[in-house]
Structure 1
């Protein structure tokens, strides 16, 4: 760089800068870019085989979810993937198909047996009741016990039919007006409760909105309330319980996406709590 004074050049300035540091940095950056490009190319090349290998696993996962919901359509493809995955898909399909056949056979047997038992039980009860005028008064107690056992068997058959209907029916939860259902069931059960010297009360917060709407499958709340009212379990070995009322309630509540818990009530009795999902998320759980 010339240094001048006017038109006269007095001297010159020379500045030297080595470029090996800049070159080294440029080479390092180009190496990193080349490595990233190679990795991207490898990932791109491996993407298709990876999807081909994992597709049967994804299919098996979706099929497992379907099987948990009680259906298997369509079955997983046993012709795709590695030999090990094809063998796994074949074994899974065979097991799931066998399980579905067993479940359908069990449901059909429970439903058919219940239907076949109803007429003989009804005829047996009528025959026992017709014996009453012709029996010695001292035998009336035994006759009443026999009629009671027939009635208990009839309730058990009704419970089996209800469970069979629940297993064979796949319905989705719908909005249910809790206040209306509770008021209707209490009104329907009032005469029976009064005959047993029991009062039915619907209680809740003294101030605030009504219970509102919750999600439940059709008729689930009505049947649950009916099975819980007047429900009782004797401490003695002989009692009128069939053991099917609470399983029916639990099945209905589970199918509705809710929960049920049973606790001893203060003093005596049973505290049964059913919690259902509210239709709107502004009031918390409806119970």
Structure 2
């Protein structure tokens, strides 16, 4: 943004300075050329009078003496031409050959045409300045006077003027660049601080704020809005953290009491109940692990993942057995498919919780007497758990909203739920570097894939 802002300010500034400098340079060059022309016209008028007297008297001695002294002092050549166009008198007797342009000027002067002002040219295009004026006597042309001067002095003056203007333009551009950079820094400083504050908030520093005392008024207002928004987000997250902390803490006591009662009941049951009691204990321990994860998340703002080698096949088999009991009354079978042994270095609790949320969603929307397929696939970099149901599924445009919080399909009808299951599973997997992929098979239903990053290959 700073680069674009500098370009937007700098290009017009440089264009304006160059335009003004070019116009000033052209004006200075034109002024010097006009001054030289005016001086030549004055000298030419003086010598035209002297030439008329000399031509009438038929003696060139006086004129030549005066012209030679003038050339010695000013370096300007003077010559008089008769009606035939031949040199009649000159300050430089050796000058007998005229250039093509000078010959044309002499011809026009002998025809009675006066000298015209010189056109404006660039200083490097200026050649020797030559003017020719007709000599009149009683209205008749009796000859012509030519004055020719070198232009080294005016050319040098023009170049000096141009050099000064270039120096002024360069200094002005340098000052303009400095001013534009300072202006861009002043304008963008609140934006830079806003960016730094947003990065800090993204890192979890919820108390990051931006000073509101610098920058343009419009950006100061944006800064105040940002600070208010950050304050509100901090309060909301604090309330969420307090709720999660209180809820998880309050759930620990009844869960511990429930586990103690299970142990007490186990002492009065025979061996036929051993498997059921062990499954109940395992569910209780799993709930305790989930609550501990929730407590850690509430305290620190992030889950401290406990990575270990997990047998995903066994994990899926156990969760399928657990959900088979829940889905059994509706005739829904939850069955595992896929590889017999899939090992993955990941967080067991998070994978279990995410898988439960997905299976719960699949069972909830499956029709009676249907099948929920849970497949396990291994890989070096990632492992994949796929849950496939045969319910109503989702239309193509609805799939992308399936993981949004509180979103439910219009076809869900009276099916209980809050629209949080897949969103929670997505967040859980994201905390360990995984992702949740939702798709609609061609033959109906919904396929949800849990892609789990294998920590052993990082």
- TM-score, normalised relative to structure 2: 0.37
Give the 3 Å change call, closer, same or farther, for CA 81–123 of structure 1 in structure 2: same
**Count of equivalent residues:** 233
Q: 1:23 matched to which residue of 2?
A: 123
For residue 72 of structure 1, report the CA deviation from its aligned partner. Answer: 3.4
Q: Does 1:63 align with 2:193?
A: no
Partner Cα distance (2:229, 2:98) in 1? 90
- TM-score, normalised relative to structure 1: 0.53
Q: 2:314 matched to which residue of 1?
A: 187
Within the candidate set 224, 239, 246, 1:105 is matched to: 239
SS of the aligned residue for 1:198 comes to strand
Q: Does 1:79 align with 2:213?
A: yes
Tell me, yes or no, if the aligned pair for 2:248 and 2:294 is still in contact at 8 Å: no
Bigger Cα Rg: 2
Q: 2:425 matched to which residue of 1?
A: 249
Query: Alpha-carbon deviations, 1:5-47, whole Å to 9, x = none?
Result: xxxxxx989799x9x7551679798667864653332121232
Give the 3 Å change call, closer, same or farther, for CA 77–171 of structure 1 in structure 2: farther
Matches within 5 A, 1:134-213: 162=293, 165-166=296-297, 168-170=300-302, 181=310, 184-190=311-317, 193=320, 196=324, 198-202=335-339
Query: Alpha-carbon deviations, 1:173-203, whole Å to 9, x = none?
Result: 9xx99xx65xx12134435646857334239
- Consecutive unaligned residues of structure 1, counting only runs of 5 or more, are 1-10, 132-147, 204-209, 280-287
Partner Cα distance (1:35, 1:172) in 2? 63
- Consecutive unaligned residues of structure 2, counting only runs of 5 or more, are 1-95, 102-117, 126-157, 266-279, 325-333, 368-413
Partner Cα distance (1:79, 1:130) in 2? 67
Tell me, yes or no, if the aligned pair for 1:227 and 1:249 is still in contact at 8 Å: yes
For residue 100 of structure 1, report the CA deviation from its aligned partner. Answer: 0.6
For residue 248 of structure 1, report the CA deviation from its aligned partner. Answer: 3.0
Query: Alpha-carbon deviations, 1:28-87, whole Å to 9, x = none?
Result: 986678646533321212322331232122101221333345423542123333455445
Q: 1:234 matched to which residue of 2?
A: 364
Query: Comparing both chains, which one has the higher relative contact order based on Cα–Cα distances under 8 Å and sequence gaps of 6 or more?
Result: 1
